Structure 1
Amino acid sequence: MTGTDMTGWTIVFDLDGTLIDTAPDLHASLNHSLESAGLTPVPFYAIRGMIGEGAKAMIRKGITWNGDDEANHDIEPLWEAFLAHYRENICRLSRPFPDAVASIDRLLEAGAVCAVCTNKTQKLAEAVLDTLNLSGRFSAIVGADAVPEKKPNGDHIIRTIKAAGGMERRAIMVGDSQTDERAARDAGLPFVFVTFGYGPEPEGFPDMVTPNTYKEVMAAIRTIMS
């Protein structure tokens, strides 16, 4: 990013699967929740397709993976079991993706503002970033329960940009899923889809680019700004 002035730009990141590889801890907590209801734990490979729409959606997908109907289960106690386990074990295995932190630092050095827009709850999102000593790098962290409607509603991203002190016309969304892509499209923002995340793969639209590493993410951001 040398020589690139990014003053006035806001770069909004999804959290799970984009900034932080949280799948191992989410997997453990999901299986704890499922086992509390007498269900079979899901294998690790399956968790990637269950992340992105919040814990309750993940639990519902876990029930479906078991070949069961979610109507046969009260989601609330399963959700409480999930949250209790996750809070106690948060970031036991979760780590930033390679070069993610260095990339954020380069963005900040170039004058950009960075923010997080996630379908995690506010407290859990803050807990992950606090535990990894990353919160101070973001001008806003906006979880699913801090807005009237979460992603894929574009208002979630717009509120995040405003909370960070930015402007929609100079903002970019970076995410790893169709949920992020739909939210970016709804908000009218260019979208950078990181292919190393959890998916599912977006439907795609003209402003979408698909980097495989954080070095390519930085190049994609620079291209969008030019």
Structure 2
Amino acid sequence: MRTVIFDLDGTLADTSVDLLAAANHCFGVMGLGDMLTHPEDAKIALRGGKRMLTEGLIRAGQFKDATVEEYYPVLLEAYRDGIDTHTVMYPGAMDAVEALKAAGYGVGICTNKPEALAEELMQRLGVRDAFASLVGADTLPVRKPDPKPLFEAARRAGGAPEMCVLIGDSDTDRNTSKNAGVPSVLVTFGPAGPEMAALNPEALLHDYADLPGIVAELIGVNNIG
């Protein structure tokens, strides 16, 4: 079976506001106040918790690796508490997922968000059951851009790893697909959208309505029925 594997943050859902809120909670505990703002720092949010803590501490002139490590669990707890306060799926994302499934593709998720948090978010958004697999940052000993999590997501979705396509929004996703030897489709509507063309993916996605056609061109059509 051919499979379509999605990144989560910035690809399926706009999670940046809730991520930034969790980081600013940490800075508040430190007595620094809000160090990150939306939408200006949305791209930083999608680089993960440690990247947000690092950036805020640098701006405050108080960066230490030890401080990042100390507050990372605090950030994760704060994020878990407000994980779906402002997060929304991108327009048309679930319609595209259902169209792909109807066409016979296996559909899964490969994210660098911790698996438990990714599961929690998708459950709260009411869309977890639409995906046959979910592989997070800590599901395996390695994470993207290592290709193993992508291959595992494809296998768990019932597919052959070499016949998958990765839908993402970053250089991490592009490098993952390169390392895996499979095509990537990068979305242009995420926070880093204007930068995606320079990464030379096999395709750019401006509207989720176009995804089924793009996938068919890149990896072929599954035989169903």
Alpha carbons 1:21, 1:97 under 8 Å: kept: yes
Q: Indicate whether 1:217 and 2:215 are aligned.
A: no
Question: Who is 2:68 aligned against?
Answer: 75
CA distance in structure 2 between the partners assigned to 1:62 and 1:214 by the alignment? 33
Question: Who is 1:121 aligned against?
Answer: 114
Residue type of the alignment partner of 1:75: V
- Root mean square deviation, CA, Å: 1.8
Deviation at 1:113, TM superposition (A): 0.7
Q: Indicate whether 1:132 and 2:121 are aligned.
A: no
Residue type of the alignment partner of 1:223: E
Residues paired across the two proteins, number: 217
Question: Who is 1:108 aligned against?
Answer: 101
Question: Who is 1:154 aligned against?
Answer: 147
CA distance in structure 1 between the partners assigned to 2:59 and 2:110 by the alignment? 28
SS in 2 for 1:144: coil
TM superposition score normalised by structure 1: 0.88
Residue type of the alignment partner of 1:210: L
Alpha carbons 1:34, 1:78 under 8 Å: kept: no
Match for 1:55 among 41, 45, 49? Answer: 49
CA distance in structure 1 between the partners assigned to 2:153 and 2:46 by the alignment? 17
Q: Indicate whether 1:204 and 2:199 are aligned.
A: yes
Deviation at 1:181, TM superposition (A): 0.6
Alpha carbons 1:53, 1:179 under 8 Å: kept: no
CA distance in structure 1 between the partners assigned to 2:110 and 2:16 by the alignment? 18
CA distance in structure 1 between the partners assigned to 2:58 and 2:170 by the alignment? 20
TM superposition score normalised by structure 2: 0.89
CA distance in structure 1 between the partners assigned to 2:148 and 2:52 by the alignment? 22
How high is the sequence identity, in percent, across the aligned residues? Answer: 30
Deviation at 1:67, TM superposition (A): 4.4
Residue type of the alignment partner of 1:153: D
SS in 1 for 2:126: coil
CA distance in structure 2 between the partners assigned to 1:45 and 1:70 by the alignment? 26
Which runs of 5 or more structure 2 residues have no equivalent in the other structure? Answer: 221-225
CA distance in structure 1 between the partners assigned to 2:83 and 2:102 by the alignment? 29
CA distance in structure 2 between the partners assigned to 1:119 and 1:50 by the alignment? 14
1:14-29 maps to which residues of 2 (within 5 A)? 14-29=7-22
